[in-house]
A and B are shown apart, each in its own frame.
Chain A
Amino acid sequence: MGSRRALAGWGGTSPTVATVVPVAADDAVGRLVAEAPERGVLARGLGRSYGDAAQNAGGVVLDVTSRDRILRVDVEGAEVDVEAGASLDQLMRLLLPLGLFVPVTPGTRYVTVGGAIAADIHGKNHHVDGSFGQHVTSMDLLVGDGSIRRLTPHEPLFWATVGGMGLTGLILRATLRMTRVESAFCVVDTERCGDLDDLLARMAEGDDRYTYSVAWIDCLARGSSLGRSVLTRGWSARRDQLPARMRSRATEFRPHQLAVAPPVFPSGLLNRTTVTAFNEAWFRKAPRERRGEVQGIAQFFHPLDGVGEWNRVYGPRGFLQYQFVVPFGAEPTLRRCLEMLAESGQASFLAVLKRFGAAGDGHLSFPSPGWTLALDLPVGAATLGGLLDRLDAEVLAAGGRFYLAKDSRLPASAMAQMYPRLDEWRAVRAEADPHGVFTSDLARRLDL
């Protein structure tokens, strides 16, 4: 029924072997969970978490991607019921023509609704709309004994599951509040920022006028150019903002993949030299300032989805993503982290900076008010571990935290410090899954 195979996160760094079982009907899922072996069970969607969150070494991993039906669409009420294996890509393709857009989208459309809830993902609109879990009005959760619970935001288990990394149970279905849009396009303003102060000032001053905002930072720029970046912000385009020729197909959404990366790239291709050249070219090509450009949703939100399996470019040794948030007021920490990174010469391809808004209610939800920085780093240099351990210390000392969906290397000791509601989460989880049937490599690493 299942096959034993190696599973890794999107970063490809620490593969482990599990029994992978594709699942369809609810009762089959319930049976598999009730009969879980000693090393437990875990749901896996499209495998876009970077580290070990969707792995369960020696145990069972339920592949839920065939549970992808859209069960009900209420266009008037802007609400949908979906199976948790449905992807955001599917939702966009089917619902944008009806004028409905997902409430939150990360940098890729290839995540499942279940994964989006379990990681409580955020997007460019966090500062105004919050994280994904805040747009879920109910969900069905299959818990440790195989029974199904319907949860609403009034229940603690709901908020233990939002951001709970799949450890409270298996999300079967969810009801989502969608965002009404007039088109599948965005109106985008682009600005180049010469340094970090310039960037932070512009974001602090202007972000609230935009629905979507993010900056791409050149992490190799040092000295007076430290933090030089390109800030792109925008809104969903109204029909009357589109050029006349586009208005008749304003809500069409048919993005296509330009290419698929073959598995032939050596580790080390993305090194300091190549990444410096890329970052320079990319910074220069951005307009100094451009207002009101119309961009498609795929171009604005998911540029990397244009290349399938792009993680292969990092080669067989893989890469990790390092994402933290530090509270407002900790700007000196942010600066010090950028300085440490630039000085180390660790080649980070396009780091992303975003200003978070208010936190949600998830016990282990990552977003909290402040500045979040995310960077991709190739694994390889012997000095990388030490550098990141030093960055961890800076972030934790400033009251910051790390995003579990990206993490692949934090020690268990960091967990309680980052997530003060950890004990509350543990208590709720223990009630839903007293025998710890749901577990993962991330849970083992972080003692969750």
Chain B
Amino acid sequence: MKDAIGNVQRILVLGGTSEIALATVKRITDGRPDADVTLAARPGPRRGDAASALEGLGLTVTEVDLDVTDRSSYERAIGATFDAGRDVDIVLIAFGVLGEPELAWQDLDAALEMVQVNYAAAVGCGVLVAARLRAQGHGTIVAFSSVAGELARRSNFVYGSTKAGMDAFFTGLGDAVARDGVEVLVVRPGFVRTRMTAGLRAAPLSQTADQVAAVVAEGLRTRRDRVWAPSTMRWVMSGLRHLPRAVVRRLPV
């Protein structure tokens, strides 16, 4: 159970090797690092390292196999997590791929893989998790979207389109489940310097995973339904959306 201050007892991370998600887990448990954390991700050294890092903080970690391109895999991971142990207070939907932007709009396999991971699996997990949290009568979903979903940019519009879809789904889901005691927080980070973006030229207002985690934690504490990281991104993206397309096309973003 989440308490009056927002301390939580159990967290499920779908995409358990995401640097932003791990930073978020650390941030929301830093006052009381005694929660149970389930990391659902592909097996391997990265998941093991993530688990060790969290265990080093005092958290109790369970590792679960997850392949989001396989429906039965995420059904199993979510089912097993909710069937045993304490109530799950927070579920982080944190998996995603950036892909190869130029390939993604020209190669069918590359395009569909990105759609499957970033959109279809996110929706699938959202459906399953929402049903579990509604039955529980409480809980919060944190869905990691992206500012890329707010504006199609020439440089990564396939990625942007998948994030736009998952963003709309989780925003609407938040409205649908509000009366069931379930809250949804949609997180829209700008450029974050992580393993996923290594080698890319950092965009303006770029930030670290820890900075995003701080924004998420504050959003949870104040029970917001959407947050941008950094918060100024909200107004930047709002402005960009109102520019003529001819101008956007020429912007170096």
Contacts and interface: CB of A to CB of B under 8 A. Distances in A.
A279 B101 CA distance: 62
A14 B1 contact: yes
Nearest to A447: B86
Majority secondary structure, B binding face = loop
Interface in A391-442: 408-413, 441
B7 A59 contact: no
A379 B87 contact: no
A15 B181 CA distance: 7
Contact of A18 (B9, B31, B32, B137): B137
Contacts of A6: 179, 181
Contacts of A57: 1, 87, 136-138, 181
Interface string A46-77: 00000110001111000000000000000000
B7 A52 contact: no
B193 interface: no
Interface stretch (A93-101, A236-244, A380-388): A380-388
Contacts of A11: 4
A13 B4 CA distance: 5
A409 B7 contact: yes
A318 interface: yes
Contacts of A15: 181
Nearest to B31: A385
Interface string A1-20: 00010100001011111100
Contacts of A17: 137-138, 179-181
Contact of A389 (B1, B32, B138): B32
Bin the interface of chain A by size: 35 or more
A289 to B, nearest CB: 39
A388 to B, nearest CB: 7
A52 B137 contact: no
B180 A14 contact: no
A444 interface: yes
Interface core residue of B5, B137, B218 (most chain A CB under 10 Å): B137
Contacts of B138: 14, 16-17, 57-58, 441
B34 interface: yes
B71 interface: no
Interface of A: 4, 6, 11, 13-18, 39, 51-52, 56-59, 317-318, 320, 379, 382, 384-386, 388-389, 408-413, 441, 444-445
Interface of B: 1-7, 9, 31-32, 34, 86-87, 135-138, 179-181, 218, 221, 223
6 contacts: A14-B2, A39-B137, A56-B137, A385-B31, A388-B5, A444-B87
